[in-house]
Structure 1
Amino acid sequence: MATIRDVAKLAGVSVATVSRVLNQNGYVNEETEKRVRKAIEELNYKPNEVARTLFKKTSKTIGLIVPDISNPFFPELVRAIEDVMNIYDYTVILCNSDEKSEKEKQYMDVLKQKYVDGMILTTNQLAIEEVMELDIPIVVLDRPSDHSFPSVIADNYNGARLATRHLYDIGCRKIAHIQGPAHVVNAMQRFYGYRDEMKSLGLWEDAFVIQGNYQLKQAKEAVLQALQNDHVDGIFAGNDAMAVGALKAVQQLGLRVPEDVAIIGYDGIPLTEMTTPELSTISQPIYEMGAIAARLLVKKIEGQLIEQLHYVLPVKLIERESTRRRGKA
């Protein structure tokens, strides 16, 4: 295997000159650079990436921290980010924080030690001050807490209003909401959308909120318990995983979907098409969200002009069998 000294010898230059060509650091005249690059090609020389990282304090890698990789929403985000980063020759290091602030902090420390060029965060466990201390380019995806960093989200608030209104339009009057974690920004935005739409419909006094924590099993158990004591005819779940849990609970209680209880989720993941009946959902442009976040981060890393720092992408209603019921308004 060729070494940097072999390249220098073949090109007739010093090791330092070869290093300057490889790292694009310092002046090398055009003819000399051509000789060095020709020698690299002839010898099929592969630079020591670890050494280059230590020297340049850059690695052509980015960190991506997600809260729960078992949630089907996040793999599609990850795929989009990886696809875009590959175009720009960046490698993605994926970290799963399990919604734990200590784990998130630990990952951030490790990623910085590895000289990642930037990070995409889909979590918001840490204080803004802690994140700013990293002093590297950061883009926040799906769960922004404020406008301190470039961000990409979907229109959670209006999507929730759309879901609630859809249930009303098909005849539901006792509409429950399965809420995600209270510390997660998008979960609360969806709750606020549900609350405000229920108020505008004059149904807020009959509102019913169930805690599901964005988890399928937890949502199922919570709905099983709730429906034994309260009657509802519509359920808006804050994400699709909880909608699946609600569907299982309703069916386990011997109720029909959508005839007895209509159900709509939020996200638009493929899982909603695999249930019986298929689940209606508010669909987010998941892949587009990940792709935009990745491009924003590349621009931040490379010091390019960023025309738009914050994106709020539209969502759309996908009506399927779980809400195909009509009643009188």
Structure 2
Amino acid sequence: MKKISIKEIAHLSGVSVATVSRVINDNGRFSEETRKRVLEVIKETGYQMNYSAKSLRMNRSFSVGILVPDISNYFFSDVVQKIEEILFDKGYSTIICNTARNTDKEIAYLQMLESKIVDGLVIISGAEKFDSEKAHLNRATPYICIDREPIQHSDTVFISSNHYQGAFEATEELFKSGSKSPIIVHYDRESTSSTERKKGFRDALRKNNIIFNEQQHELVFNKEEITITKLLKQAFSINPEIDAIFAINDNIALDLLEILPTLKKPIPSKVKVIGFDNTPMARYCYPKLSSVKQNTKKIAEITVDTLIDKIEHPGKEIPPLNLVPVELVIRDSTKN
């Protein structure tokens, strides 16, 4: 098959070579009609750009590294997939690295990505907070932090769902549906998101004139040391009045839907349950699970737009924090 040139693309499109170049690089002035016509000709002819030459010319690799702590986690996988799709549409390839919440692995991947001269990084750290100095991150490489707050705010932009809002509204919903004694169940590991969710829960208790007490209102789950069933039995023995549970994520909430009826605590008549993340299973379990929905599409769009802005305009002042609102999705597990 004959290799087509940019001159032929220009001839078939009825525009100049310079215009074709501007459309390909998305840089400069051209009409939307011209852009569509040039891209249609490129698609029909199977024209392939010489990315090596383009990279050398612009001193860019047109690649972005993405670090994710747990690719099996619904929120992480969903937002990373959306980021990859948007970057691809903008002409960037991605290298996705799963760190398994291992600090050494996270640092090793960062060093590897920088050695490949990626143009930028999207970092979802497995640590409670991301430390760019501990990770020996090259300050010349722009990066964005998602969901895990950076220690060095001046180096990056932090993009996150409003976890506090989600937890507060979820707990408020439990009170509105008739709860008098809700509790929170969460893992023993700490993160920015879990800290904000716990704050939201506690402030909702305070608003409803309940003084937070760790023994009465909080269950800390360590998967290696205790089962949720045993934890719940202990909780009900300490506080028999428990009538609602805010699970810090849907994985815990789905376990509760299975376990509570075995403890003679039917849902929602005796105990109401609400989760966080609005995973697909929330719609298909029984009873259907109320949950907090994160706007992964918006997070992905802001992340890509901000990172490309940092790549193309180094030194530009960009607001260091962007909180994305969440949405409460009410289903059967909290209805009267």
Partner of 1:31: none
8 A contact 2:102–2:126 mirrored in 1: no
Identity of aligned residues (%): 27
Structure 1 unaligned regions, length at least 5? 3-20, 25-43
Partner of 1:34: none
Higher mean displacement: 128-137 or 154-163: 128-137
8 A contact 2:278–2:293 mirrored in 1: yes
- The alignment yields a C-alpha RMSD, in angstroms, of 3.1
Distance 1:103 1:246 in 2: 33
Which of 130, 138, 154 in structure 1 is aligned with 2:134? 130
| 2:276 match: secondary structure | strand
Cα distance, 1:90–1:45 mapped onto 2, change above 3 Å: closer
8 A contact 2:202–2:212 mirrored in 1: no
Which of 86, 89, 93 in structure 2 is aligned with 1:87? 89
Partner of 2:109: 107
Distance 2:48 2:290 in 1: 55
TM-aligned CA deviation for residue 259 of structure 1: 0.8
TM-aligned CA deviation for residue 310 of structure 1: 2.2
Partner of 1:246: 256
Partner of 1:162: 169
Partner of 1:140: 145
8 A contact 1:219–1:245 mirrored in 2: no
Amino acid at match of 2:73: N
CA offset digits 1:263-310 (Å, max 9, x no partner):
001122222112111110121112211221111111111227666442
TM-aligned CA deviation for residue 233 of structure 1: 0.9
Matches within 5 A, 1:1-329: 47=50, 49=52, 58-123=60-125, 125=127, 126-131=130-135, 133-135=137-139, 136-146=141-151, 147-148=153-154, 149-205=156-212, 207-212=216-221, 220-221=228-229, 223-227=231-235, 229-230=237-238, 231=240, 232-303=242-313, 308-325=319-336
CA offset digits 1:181-213 (Å, max 9, x no partner):
543011001101111221222223554212247
CA offset digits 1:123-142 (Å, max 9, x no partner):
15242423573221101112
Distance 2:265 2:113 in 1: 49
8 A contact 2:157–2:318 mirrored in 1: no
Cα distance, 1:121–1:158 mapped onto 2, change above 3 Å: same
Cα distance, 1:251–1:236 mapped onto 2, change above 3 Å: same
TM-aligned CA deviation for residue 219 of structure 1: 7.3
Distance 2:188 2:317 in 1: 32
Distance 1:167 1:195 in 2: 13
Distance 1:119 1:307 in 2: 16
Cα distance, 1:86–1:226 mapped onto 2, change above 3 Å: farther
Amino acid at match of 1:169: K
8 A contact 1:282–1:317 mirrored in 2: yes
8 A contact 1:219–1:246 mirrored in 2: no
Structure 2 unaligned regions, length at least 5? 3-20, 26-46
Amino acid at match of 1:272: A
Cα distance, 1:229–1:167 mapped onto 2, change above 3 Å: same
8 A contact 1:80–1:288 mirrored in 2: no
8 A contact 2:179–2:244 mirrored in 1: yes
Greater C-alpha radius of gyration: 1
| 1:62 match: secondary structure | strand
CA offset digits 1:9-36 (Å, max 9, x no partner):
xxxxxxxxxxxx9xx9xxxxxxxxxxxx
Distance 2:188 2:114 in 1: 28
Cα distance, 1:288–1:220 mapped onto 2, change above 3 Å: farther
TM norm structure 1: 0.76
TM-aligned CA deviation for residue 107 of structure 1: 0.9
Amino acid at match of 1:208: H
Cα distance, 1:47–1:283 mapped onto 2, change above 3 Å: closer
TM norm structure 2: 0.75
| 1:130 match: secondary structure | coil
